[in-house]
């Protein structure tokens, strides 16, 4: 049953925009401020898409006659996509601005939480509820600190030499053309 639930949640993740991380990497490499701003906007967009997509997925499972326990488990596991959306957006921006150590920290928090959950599962036994709880805890742990990065105004482009150079180049090109370029 976990394979079905994981497949459904991963389909929801892809449908809601898990590929935005690569887009954010490209944009943040051009301008860190734009990357952070887009990260916050794309996270909100992705969360707005998740609600109807999760509802549709649960509706399909219900129409296929899955028991209530499966529907509840799918709903709970879908909750892991909320903090995951945040952490994936932050990781995309961090890659773009060259902050690989911070990127690694977000990834390690997620991975260590999953490994801890596996250890708990092996030591104490348990079932699907422990697995789902581990998934949610890992995603929340990895998305908690990065959420603050997206919620705040973010670092300025001057904090990142590559981005500051890109902003200066854009401003010079815009001044030569006699106008402002978006």
CB 154 within 8 A of CB 32: yes
The CA distance from 49 to 8, in Å, is 15
Distance of CA 114 to the CA centre of its chain: 16
Question: Among 96, 92, 10, 20, which Cα is nearest to 53's?
Answer: 10
- Into how many domains does the chain fold? 1
DSSP classification of residue 65: T
For residue 179, the model assigns a pLDDT of: 52
User: What is the pTM for the complete model shown?
Assistant: 0.73
For residue 18, the model assigns a pLDDT of: 82
For residue 137, the model assigns a pLDDT of: 87
Domain range enclosing 122: 2-153
Tell me if 180 is assigned to some domain: no
For residue 157, the model assigns a pLDDT of: 44
Phi-psi region of 156 (alpha: psi -120 to 50; beta: other; left: phi over 0): beta
CB 157 within 8 A of CB 167: yes
What is the number of residues in the chain? Answer: 182
For residue 28, the model assigns a pLDDT of: 93
pLDDT along the chain (182 residues), means of 10: 87 88 92 90 93 95 95 92 90 92 90 90 83 87 69 49 55 58 48
For residue 133, the model assigns a pLDDT of: 87
Q: What are phi and psi of 41, to 5 degrees?
A: -65, -45
Tell me if 177 is assigned to some domain: no
Tell me if 166 is assigned to some domain: no
Tell me if 162 is assigned to some domain: no
H or E element that contains 115: helix 100-124
For residue 143, the model assigns a pLDDT of: 79
């Amino acid at each position: 049953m976990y394979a079905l639930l994981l497949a459904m949640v991963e389909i929801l993740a892809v449908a809601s925009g898990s590929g935005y991380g690569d887009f954010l990497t490209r944009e943040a490499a051009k301008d860190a401020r734009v990357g952070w701003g887009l990260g916050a906007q794309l996270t909100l967009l992705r969360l707005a898409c998740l609600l109807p997509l999760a509802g549709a997925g649960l509706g399909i499972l219900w129409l296929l006659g899955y028991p209530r326990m499966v529907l509840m488990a799918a709903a709970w596991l879908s909750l892991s996509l909320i903090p995951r959306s945040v952490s994936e957006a932050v990781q995309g921006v961090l890659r773009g601005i060259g902050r690989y150590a911070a990127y690694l920290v977000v990834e390690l928090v997620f991975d260590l939480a999953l490994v801890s959950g596996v250890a708990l599962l092996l030591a104490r036994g348990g079932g699907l509820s422990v697995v789902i709880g581990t998934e949610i805890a890992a995603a929340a742990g990895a998305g908690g600190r990065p959420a603050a990065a997206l919620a705040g105004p973010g670092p300025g482009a001057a904090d990142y030499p590559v981005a500051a150079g890109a902003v200066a180049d854009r401003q010079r090109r815009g001044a030569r053309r006699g106008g402002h370029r978006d």
